[in-house]
Amino acid sequence: MSFDVARIRRDFPILQRKIRGKPLVFLDSGASAQKPRQVIEAMVHCMEERYANVHRGAYFLSEAATEAYEAARGAVARFIHAGDPREVIFTGNSTAAINLVAHSWGRGVLRPGQAVLISEMEHHANLVPWQMLRDEGRGIELRVARVTDAGELDLEDVAAKLADGKVGLVAITHMSNVLGTVTPAERLVQMAHAAGAKILFDGSQAAVHRPVDMQALGADFYAFTGHKLYGPTGIGVLWARLEHQERMPPFMGGGDMISMVTIDRVEWAPPPAKFEAGTPPIVEAVGLHAAIDYVSVIGMPAIEAHERRLVDHAMRRLSDIEGLDLLGRAQDRGGVFAFSLDKAHAHDLATLLDRAGIAVRAGRHCAEPLHARFGVEGGTVRASFGLYTTEGEVDYLAEALTKAREFFA
Amino acid sequence: MFDDLRDLYQEVILDHGRRPRNFRRLEDADRTARGDNPMCGDRLELFLKLAPDGSIADAAFQGRGCAISTASASLLTETVKGKSAEQAHALSDHFRALAMTGACPDCGEALSEEMERLQPLSGVHEFPSRVKCATLAWHTLNAALDGVKEASSE
């Protein structure tokens, strides 16, 4: 079907509102995406008609809520082409998903003398948990693969850092939240596995912008979050192979993650319940399900094609602006652009753009080492796209940046 | 497109942002403190030279920041010169009230001339995410006066 961005925009109530008297130009979807009416209504309907705690009560509403919650797991599994819905663990967000792996697999399966390999372009969510693991005195090393000047992953450096066979886990972003770079995931899986390592992808950005297929990819862990996928906050996903889940000790203890408890002894519930202690994000799961249905009806390939056109357009328009310095020029990239403009400070620029109704993010976007890598002392401004972003909005951004440059000249 | 921004970016602020005054190290400073805004990575170092009576004989700063934080630090160094520690603290309190609310009803007449000079920064109160940019230098001033080495706008 054809991609009708005007019709899509009508599904997002917030895009109809004005900011400071001007139409909202929302270019911060990389931080969190806006929500379509279908998601909002599904969550309201859940709370009005089908809400109770899950996996507990032998009564109608609890059974209905449990069914909805597990249906969401099934929808996620189909969305990412998982082999089995049990491979889908619900967490609070991507950060919680990666921390789960760092705590449980990192502490339970990795051995002293082994290493974790990340890259210079990781979001802090895929950096700090590994630093914490390294600093616990378990003898686990942290290695960092370089990023080239073009903002691509340096595969030779990855190979060099895998060469001694000590790396137990490669944990790499599937798409940089600053550079927009999409990493060569299939190639990385082959490289990691050939070196005897498992591999985790931080798919927070990638899963939103293109189809992801767990069976084709062949990775070991994949993390992403609901709120960037037009779903609600408070729910994320860790996809993990069952064989890994079996070997992983629980991360948090509590209700819902046990099969039997006495004062002396406890037996864990089978995966994935073992990793879902406490009342889960029930309404959020229903919202995520609706979000997945929403993007699936449009089609991830169609969304990818739309964003590819936008990226090409943005590259042309932004390159025309004198004094604009774009961070990273990777061949394979998504709709995330971090840049500086002459000597204008990122926060001054963001405030200016805000006055024109444009929402962008200013700062270092939870990637301080990456900004240091590119010699950016302060921060950058980041414009990031969603499926509702239009070429007209990109043009408006370019016009505003040209005027902002005059303002601070 | 940006006409209403002149409330925030008045000419005085753009000027001090581009050409900050007293932008240097004071090698013989009696008091120094660093200020950090972890949200945006802005960072400054403030230097105070004290007179025998404890008043501020000279003030200077270095660092990097946005137009607002740089202008605020620049105006700070100009307005605190010659003030006693007590007056500088009071000015700092008054300024923070100005930045957060756009006014300082309890300021009185004592430092009215200095407050007049700082008035161009009052527009920042309409931009909640930017108030910290304006107050960073003043937090750092308090830290320097109190003999604390680090201040944060968080």
What is the residue range of A364's domain?
5-29+299-408
- pLDDT-based confidence at A379, cuts 50/70/90? confident
Please indicate, yes or no, if residue A191 is contained in any of the structural domains. yes
User: Are A25 and A52 part of one and the same domain?
Assistant: no
pLDDT digits (tens, 9 = 90+) for A25-72: 999 999 999 999 999 999 999 999 999 999 877 899 999 999 999 999
How far apart, in Å, are the Cα atoms of B104 and each of B9, B94, B134, B137, B142? 20, 6, 15, 18, 19
User: Are A20 and A159 part of one and the same domain?
Assistant: no
- In one-letter notation, the amino acid at residue A219 is A
User: Considering A266, A296, A326, which residue would you say is the last residue of a domain?
Assistant: A296
Query: What is the predicted ipTM?
Result: 0.84
- Inter-residue contact A92 to A281 (CB < 8 Å): yes
Name the pTM for this structure. Answer: 0.92
Please indicate, yes or no, if residue A35 is contained in any of the structural domains. no
For residue B154, the model assigns a pLDDT of 54
CATH number at residue A16: 3.90.1150.10
- Inter-residue contact A120 to A106 (CB < 8 Å): no
**Domains of chain B, earliest start first:** 3-147 (3.90.1010.10)
CATH number at residue A142: 3.40.640.10
- Are residues B66 and A345, on separate chains, in Cβ contact within 8 Å? yes
User: Are A63 and A180 part of one and the same domain?
Assistant: yes
Instruction: Answer whether residue A204 shows pLDDT above 90.
Output: yes
- Find the residue in B nearest to A356 (Cα): B1
Please indicate, yes or no, if residue A325 is contained in any of the structural domains. yes
User: Are A188 and A274 part of one and the same domain?
Assistant: yes
For residue B141, the model assigns a pLDDT of 96
Report the b/e string of A31-63 with b at 16+ CB within 10 A: bebbbbebbbebbeebeeebbebbbeeeeeebb
pLDDT digits (tens, 9 = 90+) for A144-165: 999 999 999 999 999 999 999 9
For residue A1, the model assigns a pLDDT of 52
User: Are A25 and A51 part of one and the same domain?
Assistant: no
Please indicate, yes or no, if residue A253 is contained in any of the structural domains. yes
User: Are A306 and A322 part of one and the same domain?
Assistant: yes
User: Are A171 and A249 part of one and the same domain?
Assistant: yes
Q: What's chain B's average pLDDT?
A: 91
In degrees to the nearest 10, what's the CA dihedral of B128, B131, B132, B137?
180
How many separate domains does chain A show? 2
User: Are A342 and A404 part of one and the same domain?
Assistant: yes
- pLDDT-based confidence at B58, cuts 50/70/90? very high
User: Are A117 and A250 part of one and the same domain?
Assistant: yes
- Are residues B2 and A377, on separate chains, in Cβ contact within 8 Å? no
User: Are A357 and A215 part of one and the same domain?
Assistant: no
Q: How far does the CA of residue B86 sit from the closest CA of chain A (Å)?
A: 33
Please indicate, yes or no, if residue A19 is contained in any of the structural domains. yes
User: Are A47 and A97 part of one and the same domain?
Assistant: yes
Please indicate, yes or no, if residue A370 is contained in any of the structural domains. yes
Q: Return the closest-CA partner of residue A68 out of A38, A89, A42, A86.
A: A42
pLDDT digits (tens, 9 = 90+) for B100-116: 999 888 888 888 899 99
pLDDT digits (tens, 9 = 90+) for A297-310: 999 999 999 999 99
With an 8 Å Cβ cutoff, the interface of chain B facing chain A consists of 1-2, 4-5, 8-9, 14, 17, 39-42, 64-68, 127, 129-130, 133
Please indicate, yes or no, if residue A34 is contained in any of the structural domains. no
Q: What is the mean pLDDT of residues B136-151?
A: 90
Q: Which residues in chain B have their CB less than 8 angstroms from residue A371's CB?
A: 41
User: Considering A267, A296, A325, which residue would you say is the last residue of a domain?
Assistant: A296
Please indicate, yes or no, if residue A36 is contained in any of the structural domains. no
User: Are A241 and A376 part of one and the same domain?
Assistant: no
